[in-house]
Amino acid sequence: MSSRVYPRLPNADARLLAEELREASLSGLDAVREFVGASHPRAATVPTGGRPASESEILQVRQAVLADVGEWVDGRVLPRRVQPEFDARLGNALHMALEIIPADAAHEETWNFLTLVLLPDVALTRFPTLTEERALGGQRNVLRRAWSRWDILGELLMRGSPLLGEDELVGLLERTAVARNRSLVKALAERVLNYQGARARSEYARDLYKRVRYRTGPLMLDLYSSADLDDLITLESNACA
Amino acid sequence: MARIRAFPHLVASDASVAWSGWLRRVGDAVVALPTQVEGWDYAQSLDLETEVWVDAQEFVESTGLHDLSEVRLVATVDCPSTNQRHLSITPLTEFLARSQRHVTIHIPSGSVANDINLAVHIALASDMQRQEDGLTASEAGARLASSPTTRVYLEGSASRFPTEAISFSAAQMEEAAWSIRIRFDDLRESFAGSVRLLLNSDHPVGSRLASMDETVYGAVASFLRLDIIRALLGAVADHLTETGLDQLPLDEDSIGAVMSELCVHYLGKDFVSVAELRRSDPARFERVLQEGVGISIGAPR
């Protein structure tokens, strides 16, 4: 049940904190962990709507995330081959533990707090340079991106060998015309995961997404049943396989 | 007027469908839905409705569809911030049989934030037998008519240009009064998520702009607007592919769609023409831009 709202850290404060964390990370993750907390003097929850998460609930979120991805949060560079699994498990853990109202998750400042106050060591494990777009709570923020992907795709992120890769996910979800049709997104993801053709899967995925995206112009795919979507995707898949 | 792009099938004529403004049901009362909803919070659900007039005979004649059983009226609410879409689907035949011609849609509490885009579409729900003329819509999902999109702001600052006041020195940036940050990989990305006006809180002009100081705002607002639009046009023009902007399916809130609107609104031209002018005659582009956006001292336009 999504019912909680979390403290929001203004961007200006987040930018300064991110800089401090980047500096601390040069001394190792233990130095970063000294910044970890369940509150920040400049952060506050939205005054209307939702139940503010208590400090103990906020700390439980940290524990839940570390239970799922903590094995990698050890100061070493996260191997590239592990990144999709790390992101999927992070997204799952956040989705389960945060119980956040989607409207609160839509605000950058919420993710500023979660990333830089509650889970800075996790963020730095995934993106060691913690650039602004990964640190601050925009669409490419390390935690927001993982939460959002799980929100849309769920367990599909844990399926397949290999798991859906970064290019495949970006192509699928960062196109708003397609991304809000969740049945379509899931059907496309399943098709990509099941691809067994000769081409590189990510190339096939790119072509498939593009062909389907063009169909969203004259066709309102929101009216399609799952069988209709399967038929359409099969047609487009055959054309680009 | 119906909003329809060039489609590979016949669409409903403008005379066959008419749209109206959106209303909000609050208890037993129905009130006009303002552009900026005051006092909304995450605990509130939204019940919205709009009236649609369909001239059935004209609709059949213009679309060539003699069987309306698979035609649907679809109200959509898109929330760019939560990345959610809500739908309300009504069979057209059922709709035409009603005495009240309202389309309604319910938005659960907590599922939307910042701003929402409302629209009504008429489309085919299922495949139909292909007619001999080859032009009558027969494919499931075929769009037959779409209303203009209405954007409604739910939260206080959502209607403003994405703006942030920061200390440029702390961010190790040069001491300018403002800076326009534009980051996107694709023209379909959200405008609000891709663009940000940064105001320098250390700078006497930047800080007074951030606090909406009337004197400073009146003096520099037109230059600021010019600067923003110039930067946006440049960034988007550099990303324009050879397919052209108009052929891409763009969401209303995408950076490509917003730039198209800006070009028409300020310059009276489509984006491709503006980009071509910028490339071929930069000096004239600057004059056209300045004329279109307007330079003024005093209250902003």
pTM: 0.80
pLDDT for residue B176 is more than 80: yes
Mean pLDDT of the region B70-94: 95
pLDDT score at B157: 57
pLDDT for residue B116 is more than 80: yes
**Residue among B137, B28, B120, B122 nearest B76 (CA):** B120
- Residues from chain B that touch A15, judged by Cβ atoms under 8 A, are 166, 170-171
Say which of B72, B110, B193 has its CB closest to residue A50.
Answer: B110
Chain A residue with Cα closest to B45: A49
What is the CA angle A140-A144-A149, rounded to 5? Answer: 90
Q: Is A220 on the interface with B (CB under 8 A)?
A: yes
pLDDT score at B301: 41
| pLDDT beneath 50: ranges in chain A | none
- Residues from chain B that touch A2, judged by Cβ atoms under 8 A, are 110
Lowest mean pLDDT among B195-199, B214-218, B295-299: B295-299
pLDDT for residue B239 is more than 80: no
Mean pLDDT of the region B64-72: 94
CB contact under 8 A, B254 and A176: yes
Lowest mean pLDDT among B21-25, B185-189, B195-199, B284-288: B185-189
Answer with the residue of higher pLDDT: B162 or A196: A196
Q: What is the CA B108 to chain-centroid distance, rounded?
A: 22
Distance from CA of A141 to the nearest CA of B (A): 11
Say which of A5, A219, A222 has its CB closest to residue B139.
Answer: A219
- Residues from chain A that touch B124, judged by Cβ atoms under 8 A, are 223
Write out residues 18-77 of B within 8 Å (CB-CB) of A. 41-44, 72, 74, 76
pLDDT score at B178: 93
CB contact under 8 A, A174 and B186: yes
- Residue B244 pLDDT class (50, 70, 90 cuts): low
Beta-sheet pairing, B84-91 with B195-200? unpaired
- Residues from chain B that touch A174, judged by Cβ atoms under 8 A, are 185-186, 188-189
Looking at the DSSP bridge assignments, the partners of residue B107 are B46
pLDDT score at A1: 58
pLDDT score at A19: 95
Write out residues 129-148 of B within 8 Å (CB-CB) of A. 139-143
- Residues from chain B that touch A214, judged by Cβ atoms under 8 A, are 249
Determine the straight-line distance between the first and last CA of chain B, rounded to whole angstroms. 27
pLDDT score at B4: 45
Lowest mean pLDDT among A155-159, B116-120, B187-191, B231-235: B187-191
DSSP for B103-147 reads EEEEE-TTS--SEEEEEEEEEESS--PPPTTS-S--STTBEEEEP
pLDDT score at B247: 55
- Residues from chain A that touch B42, judged by Cβ atoms under 8 A, are 5, 46, 48-50, 101, 103-104
pLDDT for residue B51 is more than 90: yes
- Residues from chain B that touch A152, judged by Cβ atoms under 8 A, are 83
Q: Where are the domains of chain A?
A: 4-154, 159-240
Q: Is B206 on the interface with A (CB under 8 A)?
A: no
User: What whole-number distance in Å separates Cα of residue B185 and Cα of residue B108?
Assistant: 32
CB-CB contact of A133 with A80 (8 Å) = no
Distance from CA of B300 to the nearest CA of A (A): 27
Phi and psi (nearest 5°) for B73? -95, 125
Q: What is the CA A172 to chain-centroid distance, rounded?
A: 13
DSSP 3-state helix, strand, coil percentages of chain B (rounded to 5)?
A: 30, 30, 40
CB atoms within 10 A of CB A197: 11
pLDDT for residue B134 is more than 60: yes
**Residue among A55, A107, A181, A61 nearest B42 (CA):** A107
Mean pLDDT of the region B69-83: 94
